[in-house]
């Protein structure tokens, strides 16, 4: 999950506890859940297959998330930094994760990783630069930049999961199909950010970009241009927490 790791690739020493503390607040949520005791941590496996190319190309701007505390992490200091991968309009779920890979079950950790290795493999061959190199299982691109109606097609949650498992942190698109957007938030796998203009026409794959979540801003260091993004709003804390369940527990909606 994208939640507490600003840079999965640099986070060998980074613990994931920042936003995962148990909060004992009175339950504000009245319907009865059949909730047994369970671990409140839903930890995304750390990215251990670190891509050396990414390291050399990126000058790090690391913003440490706040120390473990009982307050939700503040998204205003959150940034993503890395290379971007640019795609066009109407990138449907079959292109993000072709149907033949849907036998992989995302809640199974080994299969989760495998899903990541197939992210965006369905893009036509007109995309000469692939999202993941043929012999790799993780992507070197932190951010995916898309056009209109990103994620259209199927309701398969495997789509945002594959992107997140591959190592992407955020998608910046002109607009989203609703189920993909909803799944991204529910799983906390990637931030589905919206641009105000067609950034996909002004950025190229391999450009170095920074996203400042709190400022709702994207900076393309390669072209020197800056873009306003639509604020992530209420979806932000949910993704930050690691998805709807983690968020519901953190805010006391589900007793921990």
Partner 1 sequence: MASSLVSPYPTSSFIRNKKDLGFSAFPCTSQIAIQKCKKQVSKKIVSVMAPQQSERKPATTGSVKTGMTMTEKILARASEKPQLSPGDNVWVNVDILMTHDVCGPGSIGIFKKEFGENAKVWDREKVVIIPDHYIFTTDERANRNVDILRDFCMEQNIKYFYDIKDLGNFKANPDYKGVCHVALAQEGHCRPGEVLLGTDSHTCTAGAFGQFATGIGNTDAGFVLGAGKLLLKVPPTLRFVMDGEMPPYLLAKDLILQIIGEISVAGATYKSMEFVGTTVESLNMEERMTLCNMVVEAGGKNGVVPADSTTFKYLEDKTSLPYEPVYSDAHASFLSEYRFDISKLEPLVAKPHSPDNRALARECKDVKIDRVYIGSCTGGKTEDFLAAAKVFLASGKKVKVPTFLVPATQKVWLDLYTLPVPGSGGKTCSQIFEEAGCDTPASPSCGACLGGPKDTYARMNEPKVCVSTTNRNFPGRMGHKEGQIYLASPYTAAASAVTGYVTDPREFLQ
Note the residues at the interface with partner 1 (CB under 8 A).
31, 33-38, 42, 90, 92, 94-95, 98-100, 102-108, 122-125, 148-149, 152-158, 175-179, 182-183, 186-187, 243-245
Give the tokens for residue 79.
């940034």
Which residue intervals of the chain are DSSP H helices? 52-57, 93-96, 109-117, 158-166, 178-187, 235-241, 244-250
Least separation, in Å, of the C-beta of 238 and partner 1?
10
Pick between residue 53 and residue 178 the one whose CB is nearest to partner 1: 178
Pick between residue 124 and residue 224 the one whose CB is nearest to partner 1: 124
Least separation, in Å, of the C-beta of 177 and partner 1?
6
- What's the longest Cα–Cα distance across the chain? 54
Compute the C-alpha angle 178/189/24, nearest 5°: 105
- Round to whole Å and give the CA distance between 112 and 108: 6
Least separation, in Å, of the C-beta of 31 and partner 1?
6
Pick between residue 94 and residue 202 the one whose CB is nearest to partner 1: 94
Pick between residue 99 and residue 197 the one whose CB is nearest to partner 1: 99
Give the tokens for residue 81.
């930094």
Sheet strands (E) in the chain? 79-86, 141-145, 170-173, 191-195, 208-212, 217-220, 225-230
Pick between residue 29 and residue 221 the one whose CB is nearest to partner 1: 29
Least separation, in Å, of the C-beta of 221 and partner 1?
31
Least separation, in Å, of the C-beta of 224 and partner 1?
31
- Round to whole Å and give the CA distance between 96 and 64: 31
């Amino acid at each position: 999950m994208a939640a507490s790791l600003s840079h999965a690739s640099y986070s060998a020493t980074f613990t994931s506890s920042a936003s995962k503390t148990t909060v004992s607040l009175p339950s504000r949520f009245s319907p009865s859940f059949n909730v047994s005791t369970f671990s409140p941590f839903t930890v995304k496996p750390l990215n251990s297959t670190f891509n050396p190319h990414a390291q050399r190309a990126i000058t790090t701007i690391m913003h440490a998330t706040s120390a473990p505390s009982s307050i939700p992490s503040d998204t205003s200091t959150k940034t993503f930094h890395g290379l971007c991968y640019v795609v066009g309009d109407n990138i449907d779920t079959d292109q993000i994760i072709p149907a033949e890979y849907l036998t992989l079950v995302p809640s199974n950790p080994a299969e989760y990783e495998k899903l990541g290795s197939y992210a965006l493999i369905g893009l036509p061959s007109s995309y000469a630069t692939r999202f993941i190199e043929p012999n790799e299982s993780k992507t070197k691109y932190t951010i995916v930049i898309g056009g209109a109606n990103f994620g259209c097609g199927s309701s398969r949650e495997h789509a945002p999961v594959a992107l997140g498992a591959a190592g992407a942190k955020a998608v910046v698109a002109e607009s989203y199909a609703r189920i993909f957007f909803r799944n991204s938030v529910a799983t906390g796998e990637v931030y589905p950010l919206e641009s105000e203009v067609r950034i996909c026409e002004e950025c190229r794959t391999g450009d170095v970009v920074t996203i400042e979540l709190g400022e709702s801003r994207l900076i393309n260091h390669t072209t020197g241009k800056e873009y306003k993004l639509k604020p992530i709003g209420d979806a932000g804390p949910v993704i930050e927490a690691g998805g709807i369940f983690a968020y519901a527990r953190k805010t006391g909606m589900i007793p921990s």
